[in-house]
Amino acid sequence: MKRCIVTGGTRGLGRAIAGALAKRGHRVAVTYSKNDDDAEDVKKEIGALTFKGSVADAGHVRDTVAAVVAAWGGVDVLVNNAGITQILPLALIEEKDWDLVMDVNAKGAFLFSRACLKHMIKARSGRVLSIGNFASERLVEAPVHYAASKSALRGFTEALAREVGRYGITVNLLAPGLLDVGLARMLPQHRLEEYRAQCGLGRTGTAAEVAELAAFLVSDEASFVTGAKIAADGGV
């Protein structure tokens, strides 16, 4: 039984990942920023601990990790899933927009990883999985600040994997394509049709499919996988 934290774990892909981990018998804590009803639903469904706040708030991160450690004695798995985007061209992106997307998508992963790794290093074991996006490396139209933040996670993953591998900790990046949750719901229909036309499988994915892959990547069976970027985009 692993002790897991999933950021942004009350909706969309994060909720599916939390559910997949709970199904495997793991203890799960989730963070969220706004919707208390969603958090209550997740608590009832899988018995998750829930923590409200911004992943870019160092105080919230510190308190959340401390509470999980106090409750369960440690942290074995961190899934950096929390993310945000805006469908805006560069010319209309304000500085505050850029900062918000980078703070949530990149800084949040840094803060939570830093807090959890203190406990993982002590235990000489752990799993860190960050959720990227196919838009960071594919030639597709995507908001610039969103693509930049997700690209930052690739470098973060590769460098951190080398840094902490000596402690038995793996660090990986899972990059989904368009799914039935998240960004796809913000896009116009013609953009979805373009994606399906470029996709080898000819469809968008589901949160459940990607959640199963995430659960594998933080499992003991994936103990020799680290520093990797795994795409789950249907063959774009």
Each domain of the chain, given as residue ranges in start order, spans 3-225
DSSP secondary structure code for residue 10 in this structure: T
Phi first, then psi, for residue 47 (nearest 5°) are 70, 30
CB 131 within 8 A of CB 83: yes
**Per-residue model confidence (pLDDT) at position 139:** 46
- Written as six digits, the tokens of 82 are 């929390």
Phi first, then psi, for residue 54 (nearest 5°) are -90, 135
**Per-residue model confidence (pLDDT) at position 142:** 73
Identify the active-site residue in 32, 146, 167, 195: 146
Q: How far is CA 147 from CA 24, 73, 152, 184, 228, in A?
A: 32, 36, 9, 15, 18
146 has catalytic annotation: yes
Q: What is the three-class DSSP state of 128?
A: strand
Q: What is the three-class DSSP state of 136?
A: helix
pLDDT digits (tens, 9 = 90+) for 26-49: 999 999 999 999 999 999 999 999
- Written as six digits, the tokens of 111 are 């803060």
Which residues does the chain have with pLDDT short of 50? 139
Rounded to whole angstroms, the Cα distance separating 228 from 109 reads 16
CB 141 within 8 A of CB 91: no
HSE-CB of 28 using CA atoms within 13 angstroms: 31
**Per-residue model confidence (pLDDT) at position 138:** 55
Q: Within the chain, how many helices (H) and strands (E) appear?
A: 8, 7
Tell the CATH topology of 3-225.
Rossmann fold (3.40.50)
Q: How far is CA 154 from CA 109, 140, 190, in A?
A: 11, 17, 29
| 89 contacts: CB under 8 Å, gap ≥ 6 | 143, 144
- Written as six digits, the tokens of 3 are 């002790």
| 147 contacts: CB under 8 Å, gap ≥ 6 | 133, 135, 136
Rounded to whole angstroms, the Cα distance separating 7 from 13 reads 10
